[in-house]
């Protein structure tokens, strides 16, 4: 992805990190997805007193986009860390990888794991989720 889009996406993720609700794990995560309409949608992890009811930042961002009518994701940036301090890369969990799979072309979709706007790792969803099962398989 181009440098401007990447920077905007990482920035959007960092801006929403303050909204993460993670009183149980104290591990705050935020994600921002860029769709084919050019818009950016953010999401954060939202935990629950009944632990399994919580949801990851990536899925919240993707469902946010889908709820606004979007159906194609071009890229997703993820930031996160203990007590909101981003000291390492935060890779998406397996469930979130599968949810990303629904709305993208895995070989083309970019996943950006960022520590800052100029310290990041970039990969495709196909690299994170090889031999995946998607809508075309049904
Ligand atoms: N979490 C995310 O939001 N995204 C990830 O990719 C990994 C984990 C959240 C879930 C939970 O609220 C907290 O981080 C600790 O697992």
CA distance 93 to 58: 9
Task: Evaluate if residue 1 carries a pLDDT over 90.
Answer: no
Mean model confidence pLDDT for the chain:
97
Ligand 1 centre to CA of 38 (Å) is 26
CA distance 112 to 123: 7
Q: Which of 69, 125, 60 is nearest to 97 (CA)?
A: 125
Q: Is residue 64 part of a domain?
A: yes
CA distance 86 to 57: 14
Is the shortest distance between the CB of 74 and ligand 1 below 6 Å?
Answer: no
Copy the structure tokens of residue 13.
């993720």
Is the shortest distance between the CB of 20 and ligand 1 below 6 Å?
Answer: no
Task: Evaluate if residue 10 carries a pLDDT over 90.
Answer: yes
For a pocket test of ligand 1, which of 13, 25, 82 has the largest count of ligand atoms closer than 8 A to its C-beta? 25
CATH of the domain at 24: 3.40.140.10
Q: Is residue 47 part of a domain?
A: yes
Q: Is residue 108 part of a domain?
A: yes
Task: Work out the average pLDDT over 70-88.
Answer: 98
Split into its structural domains, the chain has a count of 1
What confidence score (pLDDT) does residue 50 get? 98
Q: Is residue 130 part of a domain?
A: no
Q: Is residue 52 part of a domain?
A: yes
C-alpha dist (Å) from residue 14 to 7, 44, 95, 104, 134? 11, 10, 22, 23, 30
Domain extent, residue 19, equals 3-125
What confidence score (pLDDT) does residue 14 get? 98
Which active-site residues does the annotation give? Answer: 58
Tens of pLDDT along 17-56?
A: 999 999 999 999 999 999 999 999 999 999 999 999 999 9
């Amino acid at each position: 992805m181009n440098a401007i889009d990447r920077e905007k996406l990482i920035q959007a993720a960092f801006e929403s990190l303050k909204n993460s609700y993670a009183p149980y794990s104290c591990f705050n995560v935020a994600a921002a997805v860029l769709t084919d309409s050019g818009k950016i949608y953010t999401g954060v992890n939202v935990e629950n007193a009944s632990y399994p009811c919580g949801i990851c930042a990536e899925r919240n961002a993707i469902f946010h986009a889908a709820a606004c009518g979007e159906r194609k994701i071009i890229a997703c940036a993820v930031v996160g860390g203990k007590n909101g301090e981003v000291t390492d890369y935060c890779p998406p969990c397996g469930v979130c990888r599968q949810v990303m799979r629904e709305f993208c072309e895995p070989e083309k979709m970019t996943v950006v794991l960022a520590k800052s706007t100029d310290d990041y790792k970039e990969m495709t969803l196909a690299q994170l989720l090889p031999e995946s099962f998607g809508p075309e398989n049904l």
